[in-house]
């Protein structure tokens, strides 16, 4: 994996509407409304995606490269303090061909992979991630 950070930016397209893009050409519609992910949705998806992707190799090694997985994510929200208080991620896959002992071992190994490899959890869940911002005055063409 390269240490060079990916180019990532957002461009305003309307009132509280943006399109996020990266250097690979991917786009995500960000905002509040139909067809858009809110920033809170993206945070929850980042946590869920990180857990799924961090454990993927362990799961594939035992269930096969073509295993199906569905990842659900939800969060508890404290409206008074405008913050999420807990994020729940559910990773669903068919492990019916495994014994109870094999399932427990696979879950242990997958959890260890998440603990070791999930950058999002290391940055946001385990400790607060400081963030800053700056205002730049320049013409946008």
Which domains are seen in the chain, by residue range?
Answer: 1-37 (no CATH), 38-125 (3.30.300.20)
Burial degree of 110 (CB within 10 A; 0-12, 13-18, 19+) = buried
User: SS3 for 55?
Assistant: helix
pLDDT of residue 3: 67
Whether pTM > 0.75 for this model: the answer is: yes
Average pLDDT over residues 6-16: 93
- Asked whether the predicted pLDDT for residue 133 surpasses 60, the reply is yes
% pLDDT > 90, the chain: 74
- Asked whether the predicted pLDDT for residue 2 surpasses 60, the reply is no
Question: Backbone phi, then psi, for 59, in 5-degree steps?
Answer: -65, -45
Place of tokens 């009132």: 15
Per-residue pLDDT reduced to its tens digit, 39-84:
999 999 999 999 999 999 999 999 999 999 999 999 999 999 998 9
pLDDT of residue 122: 84
């Amino acid at each position: 994996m390269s240490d060079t950070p990916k180019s990532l930016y957002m461009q305003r397209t309307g009132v509280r509407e943006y399109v996020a893009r990266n250097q690979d050409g991917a786009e995500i519609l960000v905002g509040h409304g139909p067809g858009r992910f809110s920033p809170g949705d993206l945070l929850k998806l980042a946590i869920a995606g990180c857990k799924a992707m961090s454990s993927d190799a362990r799961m594939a090694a035992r269930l096969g490269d073509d295993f199906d997985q569905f990842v659900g994510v939800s969060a508890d929200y404290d409206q008074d303090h405008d913050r999420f208080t807990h994020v729940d991620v559910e990773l669903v896959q068919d492990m019916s061909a495994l014994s109870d002992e094999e399932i427990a071992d696979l879950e242990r190994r997958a959890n260890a992979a998440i603990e070791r490899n999930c950058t999002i959890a290391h940055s946001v869940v385990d400790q607060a991630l400081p963030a800053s911002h700056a205002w730049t005055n320049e013409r946008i063409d």
